[in-house]
């Protein structure tokens, strides 16, 4: 019985942390997190140890959904160029939603500033995995410098996400032409 209660409390805390930290930032207080989850502070500390660990766990909790929304299926038969464009087309669709506030993984890194914070480490791994995807596809597509192209692609991804997240720009009609120019210049097929 206590396992079910802890599991349920854990889920509610992870969801509350994901929602509130995305909407209000990583500085959201423990009281607000616990209230939103309907969980006592004591339970939160028993489950996660501290708020930093809860933030890291909530980022980890959402990582597979983040990847599933963006990345194409492995070996889907598309060219590397099409697979890279797919990520940006999906990002463009997400950025067009009114509730979009930017990439949560980038936002956490910017807000926390501490690279050793548990949340920063999770966010950095997720962003590194996306960069690795770009690098692998660039290499498969014959890019002249796959490492450089991967760095350029993550720069466009993060920059576009940040600008769309603060309402400074929209990505429609901007990202795909930018990517096309980068992919052409790198010789990606």
pTM across the whole model:
0.92
Q: How far is CA 144 from CA 4, 78, 177, 184, 189, in A?
A: 53, 20, 20, 10, 11
**Looking at domain 52-186, which of 1.10.10.10, 3.20.20.70, 1.10.357.10, 3.40.50.2300 is its CATH number?**
1.10.357.10
pLDDT in tens, the chain (189 residues): 444 555 599 999 999 999 999 999 999 999 999 999 999 999 999 999 999 999 999 999 999 999 999 999 998 999 999 999 999 999 999 999 999 999 999 999 999 999 999 999 999 999 999 999 999 999 999 999 999 999 999 999 999 999 999 999 999 999 999 999 999 999 999
DSSP letters of the chain?
-HHHHHHHHHHHHHHHHHHHHHHH-TT--HHHHHHHHT--HHHHHHHHSSHHHHHHHHHHHHHHHHHHHHSPPTT-S--HHHHHHHHHHHHHHHHTSTT--S-HHHHHHHHH--TTSHHHHHHHHHHHHHHHHHHHHHHHTT-SSHHHHHHHHHHHHHHHHHHHHTTS---TTTHHHHHHHHHHHHT--
Domain with CATH 1.10.357.10 in the chain: 52-186
Domain with CATH 1.10.10 in the chain: 1-49
Instruction: Retrieve residue 54's tokens.
Output: 């809860």
CB crowding 121-144: b at 16 or more within 10 Å, else e: bbbeebbeebbebbbebbbbbebe
CATH no., domain 1-49: 1.10.10
Give residue 1's pLDDT: 42
């Amino acid at each position: 019985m206590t396992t079910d209660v802890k599991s349920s409390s854990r889920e509610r805390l992870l969801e509350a942390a994901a929602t509130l930290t995305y909407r209000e930032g990583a500085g959201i207080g423990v009281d607000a997190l616990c209230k939103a989850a309907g969980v006592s502070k004591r339970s939160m500390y028993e489950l996660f140890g501290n708020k930093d660990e809860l933030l890291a766990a909530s980022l980890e909790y959402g990582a597979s959904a983040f990847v599933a929304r963006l990345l194409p299926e492995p070996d889907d038969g598309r060219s590397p160029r099409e697979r890279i464009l797919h990520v940006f087309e999906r990002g463009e669709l997400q950025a067009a939603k009114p509730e979009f506030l930017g990439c949560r993984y980038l936002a956490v890194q910017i807000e926390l500033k501490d690279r050793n914070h548990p949340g920063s480490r999770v966010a950095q791994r997720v962003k590194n995995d996306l960069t690795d995807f770009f690098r692998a596809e660039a290499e498969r597509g014959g890019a002249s410098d796959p490492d450089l192209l991967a760095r350029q692609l993550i720069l466009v991804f993060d920059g576009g996400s940040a600008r769309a997240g603060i309402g400074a720009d929209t990505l429609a009609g901007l990202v795909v032409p930018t990517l096309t120019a980068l992919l052409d210049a790198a010789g990606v097929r």
